[in-house]
Chain A
């Protein structure tokens, strides 16, 4: 039995368990990031008194490295806010916060890119501002930002490799555990790296397809 079999194939249960945790964490963070990004964006653009707060938060989440955020949320927040109560929660929170910052700016660009004339046409047929936002602006922003949103998902997947640092049992954690036990890192780490690269490659291809499809069908350029 060669090393590949012994270290990778026979450990596939542990690795798959790790992969499952990784995917869960990524999707939860992704969903929260989209909501968070929208909220931050809307507050920044339309809630005048809270504008500086929202702007500060957006810039703060974008400027701090993900590792710093992970450690900060994990160790500092429980003492201040009493939450998060688990490493898993801390990981999802930190990943979501970082991506909300980027998505907030993406959404803002998208909203500003909708031509003014479309709003005017909507007002002219008697649509209320809320209706205009819901039916005209938001769909176009989401459609136009779809490639950037998918790209942010790849960022989350890449950042998720660090959650093993706060002992969340993701794929990296499981791989490193096997390495620590077996002392033979070549096969397992190479397999892990290949797995991540392949997964992210597929996601980015989906993003590219989305962008093409958008441009062809709707004439909306991705931004």
Chain B
């Protein structure tokens, strides 16, 4: 066992391939950013839909949220990558393919839009009705109300929960390795097949994510607390 421990702590191999692995990690970040942007916009849209006065729009928003919040990440990624292009191809009468990066972005973006929609909804409902009534009776238009009253308060109150969801999304990007996107875990698998030494690489990957999540998580939370304290409602 001690030989294996030495092997596991021998992160030399991890260090040796650091450029390739770092490039893989960067791919994780790219996917994360792209998916996050999509998830935020769709999530906000769905939350607003659920808040609207028209019943069919509310229903649509709820449908979106219930489907995507309950969908497993991996299943969605596989479906978007293998099934969606075929469906689009049928419509376009031609063969259609997704770049795996795009599949990942779409799949993760939609799934996490479900979580963000719930977060935003909680934030919107937390706004005292009085604020909105006051704004409307002053004649302020809906668009302006959204931008100047709803959004700032939602962002402020839901920031901690959103940070947790961003971190989950970042962790979820490891799935893209399974559809041949050259992210960190993909590179790890490639090198493992070559070198036949899984221990240091998988351990290194685990430690890398641990460090990133811990550091990013705490710093984001500290920044968020400071920012929220500064704009005390």
| In the complex, A touching B (Cβ < 8 A) | yes
B54 vs chain A, min Cβ distance (A) = 24
Whether B82 sits at the interface, judged by CB under 8 Å, is: yes
Q: Tell me if B1 counts as interface (CB < 8 A to partner A).
A: yes
Among A36-44, A85-93, A193-201, the one that faces the other chain is A193-201
- Is A113 close to B, CB under 8 A? no
Sorting the interface of chain B by its residue count into under 10, 10 to 19, 20 to 34 or 35 or more gives 35 or more
Q: Report A-chain residues with C-beta under 8 Å of the C-beta of B17.
A: none
Q: Is the CB of A165 within 8 A of B75?
A: no
Residues 177-215 of A, flagged 1 when their CB comes within 8 A of B and 0 if not, give: 001000001100110110011001100100000000000
The answer to whether A204 and B171 touch across the interface, beta carbons within 8 angstroms, is no
Enumerate the 7 nearest inter-chain pairs by beta-carbon distance, A residue then B residue, closest first.
Answer: A63-B213, A158-B72, A65-B171, A200-B70, A75-B198, A161-B74, A161-B72
Chain B interfacial positions (CB closer than 8 Å to A): 1, 4-5, 7-8, 66-67, 69-76, 78-79, 82-83, 86-87, 171-172, 174-175, 177-178, 185, 192, 198-199, 202-203, 205-206, 209-210, 213-214, 217
Q: Which residues of A contact B (CB under 8 A)?
A: 59-60, 62-69, 71-72, 75-76, 79-82, 154, 157-159, 161-162, 165, 172, 176, 179, 185-186, 189-190, 192-193, 196-197, 200-201, 204
Question: Can you report 27 A-B residue pairs in the complex whose CB atoms are below 8 A from each other?
Answer: A62-B213, A63-B209, A63-B214, A64-B206, A64-B210, A65-B171, A67-B175, A71-B185, A75-B192, A76-B8, A76-B199, A79-B7, A79-B8, A79-B198, A79-B199, A80-B1, A82-B1, A158-B73, A161-B74, A162-B175, A165-B178, A172-B74, A179-B82, A186-B87, A193-B76, A196-B70, A197-B70
